[in-house]
Amino acid sequence: MGIITDKERIDEALELLWVLDEEGHSDLDRFSLSSDDADIPSLIETLKQEGLASAEGADIRLTEKGRKMARGLVRRQRLAERLFTDVFEMPEDSVLNDACKMEHILSEELTESVCIFLGHPPTCPHGKPIPRGECCKKLKVEVVPVVTRLSEFEVGSAGKITFIVPSDPSRISKLNSLGITAGSIVKLLQKVPSCVIQIDETTVAIDPEIAKEIYIKKVPK
Ligand SMILES: [Zn+2]
Ligand SMILES: [Zn+2]
């Protein structure tokens, strides 16, 4: 292990505070227990001095400035994870450590390209939300994304389902029971009037609204 710089320490702390906040926590104890930092009191002092976090009593939370920075870091990390699983097809559980280092390497401009390239994915492979960037608002499609919604997929093509983001989580088990699950290879047979896909020997009709919630990556014929 090399020398840990202040910037790395701060970045790690900001990410941790973001994740704790996502889980609904803001207690200092939990932060201290979850952090790997060797000197928590000095870390907290630095965060306060930099105006990135406020700590009062048993509470620690990100300031507006801290949230903005954490958001960018978490976005980069989760996009890096998606890049590894979707493009390099690394298993999800082995991704975390490499992605950890990736987010310090990905520049802000590269982050946007990666986001566009992946089709503005809403979640990381672990199901955590990827904070949206400017590119996601504009939904720029300058390059053909690697991963597209099933509803935008090309009829006659085969693809591998990379993730499903149901607006109604109870749909997942129904879709799974039909064989529609991350990793399944499906062929899109038609889009109108309903979306029909083929999985192995079975054809399944899907509601067009649900087809928008299934993300797919083209596989070579
Ligand atoms: Zn993740
Ligand atoms: Zn985007």
Q: 126 alpha carbon to ligand 1 midpoint, in Å?
A: 4
CATH hierarchy code of domain 147-218 = 2.30.30.90
Query: Which ligand lies nearest the alpha carbon of 120?
Result: 2
- Per-residue DSSP letter, 87: I
Q: 79 alpha carbon to ligand 2 midpoint, in Å?
A: 9
Query: Which ligand lies nearest the alpha carbon of 116?
Result: 2
The domains spanning 74-138 and 147-218 adopt the same CATH topology: no
Q: What's the pLDDT score for residue 203?
A: 93
Query: Which ligand lies nearest the alpha carbon of 99?
Result: 1
Distance CA 36, CA 105 (A): 21
Q: What's the pLDDT score for residue 85?
A: 80
Q: 43 alpha carbon to ligand 2 midpoint, in Å?
A: 32
CATH hierarchy code of domain 74-138 = 1.10.10.10
> What are 162's two structure tokens?
């990379």
Name the H helices within 2-127. Answer: 6-22, 28-34, 40-49, 64-82, 92-102, 108-117
Query: Which ligand lies nearest the alpha carbon of 80?
Result: 1
Q: Which helix (H) or strand (E) holds 215?
A: strand 214-218
Distance CA 106, CA 117 (A): 14
Extents of the domains making up the chain:
6-62, 74-138, 147-218
Q: What's the pLDDT score for residue 144?
A: 57
Q: What's the pLDDT score for residue 1?
A: 41
Q: 120 alpha carbon to ligand 2 midpoint, in Å?
A: 4
Contacts of 10 (CB under 8 A, 6+ apart): 43, 46, 47, 50, 52
Its pTM surpasses 0.75: no
pLDDT mean for each 10 residues of the chain (221 residues): 73 94 94 93 94 93 96 91 78 62 66 87 90 80 70 90 79 84 90 90 89 85 62
Backbone angles phi, psi at 119, to 5 degrees: 80, 30
The one-letter amino acid code at 10 reads I
Q: 72 alpha carbon to ligand 2 midpoint, in Å?
A: 12
Residue with tokens 């970045």: 11
